[in-house]
Structure 1
Amino acid sequence: MTDAVLRTVVRRETHSPRTVAMIVVAVLLLLVLAYAAVEIVLNLVGQPALLVAPGEALNAVVAAPTALLPVAFIVGGIVLALVGVLVLVLALKPGRLSRHEMAWGERAVVVDNGVVASAVAQHLSNESGIARDDIVVGVAHRSVDVTVRPPVGIPVDEAELRRLVEEEVTSYKLSPAVRTHLRVQRPDTKESR
Structure 2
Amino acid sequence: MSDFMTRVLRRETHSPRSGWSVVAAILVALAAIYALLESVLAALGQPAWLVHPLDALTWIADLPGPYPQILLGAAGFLMALVGLIFLGNGLLPGRRPRHVIDNPRVAIVVDDEVIASALAKCARVAAGVTREQVMVVVSARLVQVNVRPTSGIRLSEQKIQAAVESQLADMELDPRPAVTVKLASSGVIGV
Q: TM-score normalised to the size of structure 2?
A: 0.79
The answer to whether residue 6 in structure 2 is matched with residue 7 in structure 1 is yes
Q: What code does the residue aligned with 1:3 have?
A: S
| 2:125 alignment partner AA | N
Q: Give the residue type in structure 2 aligned to 1:26.
A: A
- Structure 2 unpaired stretches of 5+: none
RMSD (CA atoms)? 2.9
Native 8 Å contact 2:13 2:96 kept in 1: yes
Shift of 1:46: 3.6
Structure 2 CA distance, aligned partners of 1:80 and 1:124?
47
Partner of 1:102: 101
State the alpha-carbon separation in 1 of the partners of residues 169 and 33 from structure 2.
55
Which residues of 2 match residues 26-175 of structure 1 at below 5 A? 26-58=25-57, 64=61, 67=62, 86-104=85-103, 106-175=105-174
Cα displacement (A) at 1:58: 4.6
| Amino acid in structure 1 at the alignment position of 2:109 | V
* Alignment check: 8 A CA contact 1:147 1:185 kept: yes
Identity in percent: 37
Within 2, Cα distance between the matches of 1:125 and 1:104?
Answer: 28
Secondary structure at the aligned position of 1:16 is classed as coil
Give secondary structure in 1 for the equivalent of 2:167.
Answer: helix
Tell me the CA shift for residue 54 of structure 1. Answer: 2.0
2: CA distance between counterparts of 1:139 and 1:155? 25
- Find the residue that maps to 1:101 and give its secondary structure: strand
Compared CA separation, residues 105 and 40, structure 1 to 2 (3 A): closer
